[in-house]
Structures are given as structure tokens and as C-alpha cells.
Structure 1
């Protein structure tokens, strides 16, 4: 719990309406002021902002809305992502551009807009994927977008380290979310490929995100932490 001596931090979470994003919001809402971004699914939360992250103007608008509501910004969690399949024999430039807009370029947009408001001790956490290093069949471009996000995370951390601003990423493995549309056979296949013998939950990822935002992680930056239960070891 936050004591009277601790400062309540303000965090923007993109894609916070469902799945892993909703889990992150749930984990943070008691200890942080949270602005929740959504695109199509309206979250049950008292501070929300809508926006399509394929629009390059959206990141700055999300940061502005957070500042208008809370007057400060201590952290950004870039969870929103485009996980469309990308088979090599069905190349669609528009779809691939949109995937990179959401997964990679909006991270840069968010950080650029946030930097004037971030002070020493602030942090950004990007949600990557094990697919950045374990390319999924039929979704090579998705894996590539997450690999690019990992590299961008490290580069941004190096650049902002002297300012005391930390940039990290979390790479989930197979996470069981109700709206993922996976049948029982596919879920069992994920379980069979995971050392801990179960799929992950949004709470498994949210706990690590909360840690990376906290002062307990003040000497961690430029890292991509895999949280997969030993997926495909």
C-alpha cells in the first residue's frame, strides 16, 4: 500500500481495456493514478482516453489528456499491440504499416510527447513478446515488429539513462486471455511447450510491469524481461 510518505505516481497504460492491459490496470489502480487508453472497447475506469494508434497524432493526444487530468506523468506502459497474422504469401503493405505503427512507432511517439513531463525516476515499460526471438509461423512480420521494439527499448534506455529515465520491456509467453479465441487443443499445446506446465495470466505480466515501474527497479533499464513460464525451453 502507499503510505503517507510515498508519492502517488501517475501512469498512462495503452490498450488497457482488456487482456494483459486490463490486468496491468487492475494491478496499478490502487497505488497509482492511471489513465487508460482504449481504441474500440470502452474500459470500466474513471480516467479513459480513446485513440487509434495507427494515427501518428494519437500518442501526443494521449499524453496531453493524461497531463490535463492529473497534472503529472511518472510512467508509460505501452501495451497496445497489433497481433494480426502476416503470412508471407498474403503481403498487404497497409496492414504491415499499421502493425508497425502500433507496435513500434507509437512507442516513439508516446515517449517523445512524454519527455517534457518526465523527471528523474520516471519509467516506460513496453509489452513485447517471446515472438521477437521465437518467430511464429504465419506471423513473421509481427515477430519482426516486436524485435524492433526490443531494440528500440534498449536504444531509448541508453539515450535517456543520463536523465534518470528508465525504459524496459516485458516479453510475455503464452498468456490465457478470454478474448484470444484459442481452442482447447491450442491451449494444451501451449501448456505442453511451457516448463511450468500452465499458460500465463494477465496478472503474471502485470506484477512484473508494476515492479519495473517502481523504485525497487531503479537500477534496471534497457532490459527485456521474458515472463513465459519457460515457454519453448
Structure 2
């Protein structure tokens, strides 16, 4: 049965851990009801949902693989069925595997683009279909979309597509009062970047004016702003959030 008390509602795809979990916590703290989208991390997601609820917030777990036909629409439908509306979509789900050109095959490319590009497009379509004026759509791109490093070309290309996508869809959604933007993080300290930080952490720290590694909360704050009414005049843009990396 749908709950509806006038509070804004967000769906966070990829919300079980890392940047996604930080976004869930921040939006819940800001008073939004949150559907926590996850692909396989059921236990982590349920723990996060209980954490939000124990703090007085509202949350629900929504399972789905955004790269699989029908799942984006199903995740949106389940969110609306539970909370009665959808005001913000935040897509932090993604595949981030690096391979040099000689090791790339067709399945690798399809896997990357099915999740990072096709999934993002279909989530946008499903969310936009149920949003009213004031809706907010936020995707995660990557700094690598603007400056790829060796072995990151396919990933970088998929994230460059995300930035192009939000630019294009902004023109379609703008007349309805819906904004769509992306955030392009540099290296953020999560379980997905453990190896990179172990190998290049000192180099990354020394390359940023702030002298540290980015944290999930650094990105969650930007997402919360883009999801708010304060960002009503920003659409079709990708915000580069890399700590001033040189």
C-alpha cells in the first residue's frame, strides 16, 4: 500500500554501498523517503534500510539490475507503489572495470554499456514518466570521461555518454520543469577503489590542492544540492567533483 504524507521521495539506484549509500543517508537526513535500489547486496541494503528507519526516516529496499530489460521500470514502479510518488532519481549504479585495448572483447563492452549507458537511459525514461514539475534526475559520470587514463577507455566512453545524455535530455524534460544533471567524481574512497588508492593514493593526494582522497559524503552533498529546489536553475550539466585534481 502506498504511503503519502507529502514528503518528497527519491529512488537511489546502486544505493547499497559506497557513494550510493552516502546519498541514501544524506537524502534521508534531508527528510526524503528513499527507495534503496540494489542488484545483489540484499543484506547490506536491508541493514541500511533499518538504519534509516531507526533514525525516524522512511526507506524501502528495491531490487533490480538496471542493465536488464524491464528492471529500471520495475524499480520505479515499486517506489511509487510504496511511497505514492517519485520526486528524485539518483543513479549511482555502474560497472567500473578497466582493461587495456588488447584485452577488450565484445562482451566486456556490452556489459559496460548495458549498465552505464542503457541502464541510465531506461531509468531516466521510467522516472520521467511518473515525475511532476520539480522532478530531479541525477546520474554519476566520472572525471575519466574528460581525461581517461590507460586501460580506462571503455569505462570513460560510457561515462562520457552519460554526460552527453543529460545534456540532451535536459531539452526534452525542461519544458516539464524537470532537471537532469550528472556529477563526475574523481577517485572516491570506497570498496571499489581500494586497489587504486593502494597503488596511487600518495600520487592522488599530492595532485589535489586539498591534499586528500575524496569521500562518499563529498559527492552526497553535491547530489543533495542537485536534488533540492536550490538547484532549480541547473540542468543539462555535469559537475566535476575531483578536489581540483591536476
Aligned to 2:54: none
| Alignment partner of 1:208 is 2:207 | no
- RMSD, aligned CA: 1.4
Q: Are the equivalent residues in 2 in contact too, given 1:174–1:231 (CA < 8 A)?
A: no
> Shift of residue 176 of structure 1?
1.2
Task: Specify every segment of 5 or more residues in structure 1 that has no aligned partner in the other structure, as ranges.
Answer: 1-5
- Per-residue deviation, residues 116-175 of structure 1 (Å, max 9, x unmatched): 211111010001110000112111000000001100010011111111110000011111
Q: Are the equivalent residues in 1 in contact too, given 2:181–2:235 (CA < 8 A)?
A: yes
Q: Are the equivalent residues in 1 in contact too, given 2:167–2:237 (CA < 8 A)?
A: yes
Bigger fraction of residues in helix: 2
- Per-residue deviation, residues 180-210 of structure 1 (Å, max 9, x unmatched): 3225342112112212111110000000000
Segments ≥4 residues shifted beyond 6 Å: none
1:76 counterpart (85, 89, 92): 89
* In 1, Cα distance between equivalents of 2:66 and 2:177: 27
Q: Are the equivalent residues in 1 in contact too, given 2:187–2:193 (CA < 8 A)?
A: no
> Shift of residue 112 of structure 1?
1.3
- Per-residue deviation, residues 81-128 of structure 1 (Å, max 9, x unmatched): 100113100122112111111111111111211222111110100011
- Three-state SS of the structure 1 residue aligned to 2:137 is strand
Provide the aligned length of Structure 1 versus Structure 2.
227
Output the TM-score relative to the length of structure 1. Answer: 0.93
Q: Are the equivalent residues in 1 in contact too, given 2:66–2:120 (CA < 8 A)?
A: no
Aligned to 2:105: 92
| Alignment partner of 1:33 is 2:33 | yes
| Range with greater deviation from structure 2 (18-27 or 175-184) | 175-184
Output the TM-score relative to the length of structure 2. Answer: 0.88
* In 1, Cα distance between equivalents of 2:170 and 2:12: 19
Q: Are the equivalent residues in 2 in contact too, given 1:74–1:122 (CA < 8 A)?
A: yes
Aligned to 2:117: 104
> Shift of residue 55 of structure 1?
0.8
Aligned to 1:52: 65
Q: Are the equivalent residues in 2 in contact too, given 1:123–1:166 (CA < 8 A)?
A: yes
